[in-house]
């Protein structure tokens, strides 16, 4: 942290109504690459969550009353500041989350790109006029901000998960209360510092940091002044939060778990598929909800793909993300390593063959797992049936196109899927046959601000990014003008 160019980006208190709320209760923020304490952060709770909702409610009238252009100027200031401080923000992110520095800086640019994109898209909240069924009436549709938006986000993208939600919310004219994961609060607080410098008014963007996830979560899902609740995290927690929000009929968007298939057909460009699979699987040490979770390879190319993929993965360096040569950083915690190792060992017992890795790595003290590949996997083995959230690739081989679609869809999840093929008939049939919200075709990295990110089935509801993403923060209001004859 002492290498930061701008040390005032390192904040330790919740940011509510334009003020930093210090307090006596604190918790440690740990570097997962070394297990060292980076700093301590004030442990806010239910009272601060309530204060933040009140601040957001009080700020709503003035913020929603600004023109889209006025909001766009402030959002663009925020975008510019995030990009100017990309190096420092990337460093903070690597230190608290673990991902390699280049990837962390990439996340800062990715998160900021949503703020830039929605700053512009907020100017295009068009309404509608509809021909009325009788001549003395006119039908007009306008769109208005939903109101106060509350969010809960995970540790795997400490900047971007908040940016994706807050950008759309603020552009639409909503105010925002975010509760980041306690493993990674510093990135969110640095965003708040820059929001303030950008001129975003007090109460519009609030960050509440606290270990009482359940207590704060209850306020954010049940407070009568919260109009909409948005969550990124596991399907299990998402279900609980949807149920909590039901008591006051909150609008909800949910970005939940995934079990992404990555399908390689006989006619695929195998080298391109290997490259796509490495990126899609091993980015962020396999800890993303759109990460490849199962690799499905058609029988004729299974041997070639497995050999080339194993050779490529064997070259990936594991270690501290501050080291330039590292591609795979630590996992978030020791228990996360244990969970992944259990899935691997149980699947080996069930008949999977270990091609690479399969163990913890001792890199000083941190929480590292060797990049791992298992072949001869079946879809019912633990490594294929569960969301892995770690650097492990199970390879399943299949015979026909329909087999691939059946195996791919045989999960309660439906977030991202990927496939590599050249035949145009295969491409359309498979793209349409996959029960997923997003499909990468000959492409392993698909997310960007212009595209709708989101899942089907138990992977969630709602979309982030794109023109569709703004709708999640807008209400439709129908105006019927009568008495015109």
Catalytic center residues? 255, 289
Least distance CB 15 / ligand ADP (angstroms): 17
- How many C-beta atoms lie closer than 10 Å to residue 483's C-beta? 6
Contact (CB, 8 A) for 259 and 78: no
Cross-strand bridge partners of residue 159: none
Least distance CB 408 / ligand ADP (angstroms): 23
- Residue 366 backbone zone (phi > 0: left; psi -120 to 50: alpha; other: beta): beta
Helix 185-198 and helix 160-172, axial crossing angle in degrees, nearest 10 = 30
Q: Which is nearer to ligand ADP, 166 or 171 (CB)?
A: 166
Q: Which is nearer to ligand ADP, 152 or 377 (CB)?
A: 152
Q: Which is nearer to ligand ADP, 237 or 381 (CB)?
A: 237
Q: How many helices (H) and strands (E) does the chain have?
A: 15, 22
Structure tokens at 259: 């079990």
At 57, phi and psi to the nearest 5?
-65, -45
Q: Which is nearer to ligand ADP, 234 or 334 (CB)?
A: 234
| Calpha distance 18→20 (Å, rounded) | 7
Q: Which is nearer to ligand ADP, 139 or 213 (CB)?
A: 213
Least distance CB 346 / ligand ADP (angstroms): 19
Q: How many residues does the chain have?
A: 485
| Calpha distance 288→276 (Å, rounded) | 15
Q: Which is nearer to ligand ADP, 213 or 361 (CB)?
A: 213
Contact (CB, 8 A) for 389 and 286: yes
The three-class DSSP label of residue 461 is strand
Contact (CB, 8 A) for 205 and 150: no
Structure tokens at 307: 């050999």
Q: Which is nearer to ligand ADP, 152 or 385 (CB)?
A: 152
Contact (CB, 8 A) for 204 and 63: yes
For 335-356, b/e burial (b = at least 16 CB within 10 A) is: ebbebbbebbbebeeeebebbb
Q: Which is nearer to ligand ADP, 71 or 164 (CB)?
A: 164
Interface residue list for ligand ADP (CB under 6 A): 152, 154-155, 181, 213-214, 217, 233-234, 237, 240
**DSSP string computed for 154-175:** -SSSTTHHHHHHHHHHHHHT-E
Least distance CB 326 / ligand ADP (angstroms): 22
| Calpha distance 249→230 (Å, rounded) | 13
Residues 6+ apart with CB under 8 A from 470: 118, 121, 122, 125, 168, 171, 172
The position carrying tokens 């509801």 is: 461
Q: Distance of CA 433 to CAs 176, 245, 303, 465, Å? A: 37, 33, 26, 24
At 178, phi and psi to the nearest 5?
-115, 140
Q: Which is nearer to ligand ADP, 46 or 446 (CB)?
A: 46
Least distance CB 235 / ligand ADP (angstroms): 8
Least distance CB 270 / ligand ADP (angstroms): 33
Residue nearest to ligand ADP (CB): 217
* Radius of gyration over every alpha carbon of the chain, rounded to an integer in angstroms: 23
Q: Distance of CA 407 to CAs 68, 351, 357, 432, 433, Å? A: 46, 18, 25, 15, 11
């Amino acid at each position: 942290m002492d290498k930061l160019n701008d040390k005032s980006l390192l904040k330790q208190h919740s940011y509510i109504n334009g003020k930093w709320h210090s307090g006596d209760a604190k918790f440690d923020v740990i570097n997962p690459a070394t297990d060292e304490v980076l700093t301590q952060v004030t442990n806010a709770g239910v009272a601060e969550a309530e204060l933040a909702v009140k601040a957001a409610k009080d700020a709503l009238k003035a913020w929603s009353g600004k023109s889209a252009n006025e909001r766009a100027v402030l959002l663009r200031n925020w975008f510019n500041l995030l990009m100017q401080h990309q190096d420092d923000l990337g460093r903070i992110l690597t230190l608290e989350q673990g991902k390699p520095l280049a990837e962390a800086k990439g996340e800062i640019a990715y998160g900021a790109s949503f703020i830039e994109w929605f700053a512009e898209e907020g100017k295009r909240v068009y309404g509608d006029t509809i021909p009325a069924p009788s001549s003395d009436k006119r039908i007009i549709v306008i769109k208005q901000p939903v109101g106060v938006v509350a969010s809960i986000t995970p540790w795997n993208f400490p900047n971007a998960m908040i940016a994706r939600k807050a950008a759309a919310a603020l552009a639409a004219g909503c105010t925002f209360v975010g509760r980041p994961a306690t493993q990674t609060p510093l990135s969110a607080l640095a965003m708040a510092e820059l929001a303030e410098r950008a001129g975003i008014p007090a109460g519009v963007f609030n960050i509440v940091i606290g270990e009482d996830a359940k207590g704060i979560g209850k306020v954010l899902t049940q407070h009568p002044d919260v109009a909409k609740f948005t969550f990124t995290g596991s399907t299990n927690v998402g279900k609980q939060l949807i149920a909590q929000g039901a008591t006051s009929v909150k609008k909800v968007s949910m970005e939940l778990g995934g079990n992404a298939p990555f399908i390689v057909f006989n006619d695929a460009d195998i080298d391109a598929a290997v490259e796509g699979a490495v990126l899609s699987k091993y980015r962020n040490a396999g800890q993303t909800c759109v990460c490849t979770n199962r690799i499905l390879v058609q029988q004729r190319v299974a041997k070639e793909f497995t050999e080339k993929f194993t050779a490529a993965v064997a070259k990936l360096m594991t270690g501290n993300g501050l080291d330039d040569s590292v591609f795979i950083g630590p996992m978030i915690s020791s228990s996360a390593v244990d969970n992944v190792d259990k899935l691997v060992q149980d699947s080996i017992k069930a008949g999977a063959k270990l091609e690479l890795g399969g163990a913890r790595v001792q890199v000083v003290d941190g929480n590292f797992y060797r990049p791992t590949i298992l072949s001869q996997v079946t879809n019912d083995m633990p490594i294929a049936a569960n969301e892995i959230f770690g650097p492990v690739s199970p390879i399943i081989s299949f015979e026909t196109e329909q087999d691939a679609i059946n195996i791919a869809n045989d999960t309660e999840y439906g977030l991202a899927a990927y496939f590599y093929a050249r035949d145009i008939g295969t491409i359309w049939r498979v793209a349409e046959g996959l029960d997923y919200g997003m499909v990468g075709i000959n492409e392993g990295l698909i997310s960007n601000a212009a595209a709708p990110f989101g899942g089907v089935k138990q992977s969630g509801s709602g979309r982030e990014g794109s023109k569709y993403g703004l709708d999640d923060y807008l209400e439709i209001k129908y105006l019927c003008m009568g008495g015109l004859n």
